[in-house]
Structure 1
Amino acid sequence: MNVIVVGSGIAGLTAALHAHEAGHDVTIVTKRDLGDGCTGLAQGGVAGIYGPDDSAALHAADTRDAGAGLSDRDAVQVLVTDGAARIAELIARGVGFDRAVDGTLLLGREAAHRHARIVHAGGDATGAAISAALVASVRRTDIPLVEHAFLVDLLRQEGAVRGIRILLDGEVSEIPADAVILATGGAGHLYAHTTNAAGTTGDGIAAAIRAGAAVADLEFVQFHPTILAKGPAFLISEAVRGEGATLIDDDARRFVFDSHPDGELAPRDVVARAIARRATAQAAPVRLDATMLGAETLARRFPTIDRVTRERGFDWAREPIPVTPAAHYLMGGVVTDLDGRTTVPGLFAAGEVARTGVHGANRLASNSLLEGAVFGARAAAALTRPWADVAHGSPQARPRAEGSRGAIAPAFSRASLQRLMWEDVGLLRNRDGLSRALDVLQTWTAESSAPTTVSAREDANLLLLAQATATAALARTVSVGAHHRVDAPEPAADASSRLPSSILEPV
């Protein structure tokens, strides 16, 4: 079978290697250099190795709890069942996870995990180690690579995806295929502040929408709580808090306990909102205090963070550092089944571009690299199987915003779109802000022209996804997980699992 994999993070490279090893003719198409993207930026690690008091069942329970009752049980079971094999595969491909003197894997703990079950490499450079190993594995094969190619659209023939259209060196061309696996990542650059790599503009999700694939849960955007509040966005791993660091306000008070009994180890959405509220109240960033860990431990366990914080003028072994939230991970995306199949025959999706159902309303820390490896492998394994209908619930009509019509929108630019999303479709949302955002987004869409350059095509994709995200956020009228409506109540714990998933289909 002739297969195109679009993207070269952990999901894409895992899928490509598995498809190649199964005898398929595989081509990898990537927007930038091979291995560029968000995988290489991941610090924390990969969840899925269990100690004597831990188990896959407990990992599954923690995943569902973090997902606020909206995680798909079957998808979570697949994640934790396949996880050990995928971690073993990464080790076999050359990932040097950190080990104790006796050779056993060192396990870390992060927020909302009840046990230490996370393997890491280079202290806080897990993603870089994984990316390097997978890139090296691909380069040892004869898999053709098409780098610096922008995904313009998916090619459809007789209702199925049969290739892609790309922009390469200023020219648009087509690459036919029997199947396409999307592994293009999320859409962090919808927001003014994001941890995502440059170029993470939702191109795969937008192309899937235009091809008629269902998408879901775009309202569930995870904001990482702790980004260094000086200079370009730099993530301070949740594993730092897992090792004992605390969050304090200007009075040196651990304020997150006001929001959750687990304090700094509460789910990410809870911590991020607590930080945002406290920073607004005191008109200054909150601080992460890791001084109790000591200079030696910080340098050994978190060498990348230690280096960057010092480069930016902080000695975090002696003083707390200022932190702020930023858009980090998209729980929604292109709807898939347990084998990566979308609602359009011939089109698979894996990694952050996909909505597998694992994450529900909020991703559990260190499940993203695991999900990419698990479902990338499963998509490759399903290439030759008969296509199955992908259940995705009852489609919801796109609601129209009820804000004031005819409001004057500012001139469109990517920066203005990102500010709008940050202010009105960000951590704290309400009906008026979401309606206002949709007014502006619809005005910009009506005034837009056909894009030709890469930058203009990225802007068009962001604009499409911004509308879909704001629409989904307006439609979900209760607060759950990462979707927080300050004008709406949070559902009772036993009711959250019955809330419908927000499905959007092209109109």
Structure 2
Amino acid sequence: MPTYDFIVIGSGIAGLSYTVKVAQHFADRNIPIKIALITKTIAEETNTKYAQGGIAAVWDTDDSFEKHIEDTMVAGDFISDRTVVEMVVREAPERLRELIAYGTDFDRKSDGSFDLVKEGGHSDKRILHYKDSTGNEIERALLAKVKSFESVDFFTHYFAVDLITQHHLGEKVTKDTPGKQCYGVYVLNKKTKQVETFLGKTTLLATGGIGQVYQSTTNPTIATGDGIAMAYRAKGFVQGMEFIQFHPTALYNPGKKPSFLISEAVRGHGGILKNQDGSTFMEKYDARLSLAPRDIVARAIDSEMKIHGVDHVYLDTRHIPKEEILQHFPMIYAHCLKELGLDMSKDMIPVVPAQHYLCGGIIVDHFGQTNIENLYAAGECSHTGLHGANRLASNSLLEAIVYAHNAFEKSVSQYGTQVLPVGIPDWDDAGTRNPEELVLVTEMAKELESIMSNYVGIVRTDRRLKRAYDRLELIYLEHEELYKQSRITVPLCELRNMINVAYLIIKHARAQRQNKGLHYNIDLR
């Protein structure tokens, strides 16, 4: 079984920026190390790739750290950790300069300054972007940088199954067990269909979001909450799972999954939300109108849809000059034209809220350290305290690079102190057989998505949450029996993770007895 100094699970902005820094640190010191970068499909397929809008940072002299901090606190319904918010906001410019040094290209004005834009919840223009495909540009630059290091071994089409802890040495491990440690991960090689053992002195989870537990999501199909579920099973602490962000403006195109995102930046550039008769409605809900924080806008759209008995509302960009639309939103323009024959400069865009981002996750400290020794988490799978009850637009990529940097600093400072135990067993699938009816997995996944969308969505009730809990328990019991009997497959493991994640979302939603940010329960009004 291979042994690595660092194992990184996930190849989005958090995993890649961490890998770059670790590799560069030891290369500068001529210290040979081995880094395993594990990703479940191709390296480019990540949540990061689909981030359109941009990354927030204070650049303009008219802006200030204090304003960005306050905007973040307001959006998070004042349950964000102010110490964390201040740290992330103040570190932002330096981390952005590093991305630029790696080769990331952000749009600039004719005078060479950054073309900063404003998004919902922000009091100033502070969003750096690359047209309407910022995440893809960051992913491109970071991947190129990572591939320049000989110390990094890429493992594409490898699926992380479970973290290795003392539990696998026969010790009883509970959430209260002191000194829990991570020794690496069991990984399914999708090509050979064999589970391989990766031993690691330090492991970073950078596995992204949970969108596939919902029927409608902007997340790619890989977003099945794998890192959160693995950490939870290893007795890692998880928090804030009730705070599910629904992006207000996904393109209404029934049957398409993932949903195509109509970026917040479109509203920042002047797009106006309207009903089917062309009337505006946001003035009824918030003085900031179409640029209110996402939780408010999503609930407003949900309310208007129910009032009028319709499946979507519209985003009107017809007043924006076509050349500006083509300059700033070429990907969105082309997609609408191709998929719906819709010209943004002439037609209103049908939009509907879709699950977009998780504000909770694996609890980490300021350095991305979990409650399990030698296990770190960064990006959407982590809970840092930055987002509180609702994420401010374009703070997610920022959080990922700040915490990847902090995790890098902490983990390299501890390099050489970790000792891997002897006797870690290989994966044991004795007595299992190939699953005969994969349709069972498919149908259970569909049922789970339906439960979460219908009962644990934008607006909740106590009865809906209890119904979701009861029905999920039946799926859990059915899946557990199948899992114990079967040789593992990716669909089987992804469903296992989605069940774990759905359970945590429901559990935390039932325990939350205040309407805060993204959690809105009618029975608590």
Shared fold, TM over 0.5: yes
Aligned position for 1:21: 24
Q: Which residue of 1 aligns with 2:209?
A: 186
Q: Comparing 214-223 with 441-450, which one deviates more in the overlay?
A: 441-450
Correspondence 1:302 to 2:333: no
Q: Which amino acid aligns with 1:166?
A: V
2:477 maps to a residue whose letter is A
Corresponding residue number in structure 2 for 1:38? 47
Query: % of aligned pairs identical?
Result: 39
Q: Secondary structure of 2:35's partner?
A: strand
2:318, 2:68 → 1: CA distance? 30
In the alignment, which of 57, 65, 68 is matched to residue 74 of structure 2? 65
Out of 443, 451, 459, the position equivalent to 2:495 is 459
Contact 2:58/2:68, CA 8 A, preserved across alignment: no
Equivalent residues of 1:208, 1:334 under 8 A apart = yes
**How far has the Cα of 1:35 moved from its partner?**
2.4
Distance 1:10 1:487 in 2: 39
Q: Per-residue CA shift, 1:373-398, capped at 9, x if unaligned?
A: 111111111104469xxxxxxxxxxx
> d(CA) in 1 for partners of 2:205 and 2:414?
19
**Code of the aligned partner of 2:382:** A
Q: Which residue does the alignment assign to 1:149?
A: 158
Determine if the alignment matches structure 1 residue 429 to structure 2 residue 437. no
Task: Give the Cα–Cα distance (whole angstroms) in 2 for the partners of residues 30 and 411 of structure 1.
Answer: 23
CA apart distance, 1:251: 3.0
Residue identity matched to 2:301: I
Superposition map of 1:296-335 within 5 A: 296-311=323-338, 312-335=340-363
Alignment of 1:368 onto 2:389: no
Query: Per-residue deviation at 1:77?
Result: 1.3
| Aligned 1:75-474 pairs, distance under 5 A | 75-121=84-130, 123-142=131-150, 143-157=152-166, 159-168=180-189, 169=191, 170-230=193-253, 232=256, 233-284=259-310, 285-311=312-338, 312-385=340-413, 412-448=443-479, 449-450=482-483, 452-474=488-510
Normalising by structure 2, we get a TM-score of 0.87
Compute the displacement of 1:25 (Å).
3.0
Deviation at 1:52, TM superposition (A): 2.1
For 1:50 and 1:85, locate their aligned partners in 2 and report how far apart those are by CA, in whole Å.
11
What displacement does 1:445 show? 1.1
Pairwise CA RMSD:
1.5
Taking the aligned partners of 2:94 and 2:251, their CA distance within structure 1 comes to 35
Q: Which amino acid aligns with 1:323?
A: V
Query: Match for residue 497 of structure 1?
Result: none
Say how many residue pairs are matched. Answer: 466
Q: Distance in 2 between matches of 1:63 and 1:476?
A: 21
Residue 56 of structure 1, CA deviation: 1.4
CA shift, 1:350, in A, is 0.2
Note the C-alpha offset of 1:411: 10
Cα distance between partner residues in 1 of 2:514 and 2:217: 25
Aligned to 1:392: none
Displacement of 1:116: 0.3
CA distance in 2, matches of 1:362, 1:338: 19
Alignment partner, residue 404 of structure 1: none
Q: Distance in 1 between matches of 2:21 and 2:414?
A: 18
The Cα shift of 1:444 comes to: 1.3
Partner of 1:406: none
Tell me, what secondary structure is at the counterpart of 1:178? strand
Shift of 1:84: 0.5
SS in 2 for 1:304: helix
Which whole-Å deviations, capped at 9, do the CAs of 1:176-198 have from their partners, x for residues lacking one? 01110000001011100000011
Q: Give deviations 1:36-91, integer Å, cap 9, x for gaps.
A: 11101111001003312211121111111100011111111121111111111111
**What is the CA–CA distance in structure 2 between the aligned matches of 1:96 and 1:446, rounded to whole Å?**
49
Letter in structure 2 aligned against 1:14:
S
After alignment, is 219-228 or 283-292 more displaced?
Answer: 283-292
Q: Determine if contact 2:245/2:518 at 8 Å carries over to the other structure.
A: yes
| Separation (CA, whole Å) in 1 of partners of 2:45 and 2:276 | 38
Q: Does structure 1 conserve the Cα–Cα contact (< 8 Å) formed by 2:34 and 2:153? A: no
Give the secondary-structure state (helix, strand or coil) at the position aligned to 1:428.
Answer: coil
Q: Secondary structure at the match of 1:487?
A: helix
1: distance between equivalents of 2:348 and 2:276? Answer: 11
Deviation at 1:323, TM superposition (A): 0.2
Structure 1 stretch displaced more, 33-42 or 322-331: 33-42
Q: Which residue of 1 aligns with 2:174?
A: none
SS of residue in 2 equivalent to 1:247: strand
**What letter matches 1:309 in structure 2?**
C
Aligned residues of 1:109 and 1:116 also touching (Cα < 8 A): yes
Task: Return the letter of the residue paired with 1:288.
Answer: L
User: TM-score of the superposition, structure 1-length normalised?
Assistant: 0.90
Partner Cα distance (1:105, 1:349) in 2: 31
Going from structure 1 to structure 2, the CA distance change for 1:114 and 1:105 (only over 3 Å counts) comes to same
Tell me which residue corresponds to 1:397.
Answer: none
The farther-off stretch of 431-440 and 167-176 is 167-176
After superposition, the C-alpha distances for 1:266-296 in whole angstroms (9 at most, x for unaligned) are 1101100111111122222110001111211
Distance 1:359 1:291 in 2: 33
Does the 8 Å contact 2:444/2:475 carry over to 1? no
Q: For residue 371 of structure 1, what is the amino acid of its counterpart?
A: E
Partner deviation per Cα, 1:282-327 (whole Å, 9 max, x = no partner): 2221100011112111111100001001112111111211100000
Q: Which runs of 5+ in 1 are unaligned?
A: 388-409, 490-507
State the alpha-carbon separation in 2 of the partners of residues 144 and 56 from structure 1: 39
Q: Hey, what's the Cα distance between the residues in 2 that align with 1:186 and 1:125?
A: 19
- Structure 1 residue 201 displacement after superposition: 0.1
Q: Over alpha carbons, which structure has the higher Rg? A: 2
Q: Does the aligned pair in 2 maintain the 1:250–1:282 contact within 8 Å? A: no
**Cα displacement (A) at 1:34:** 1.1
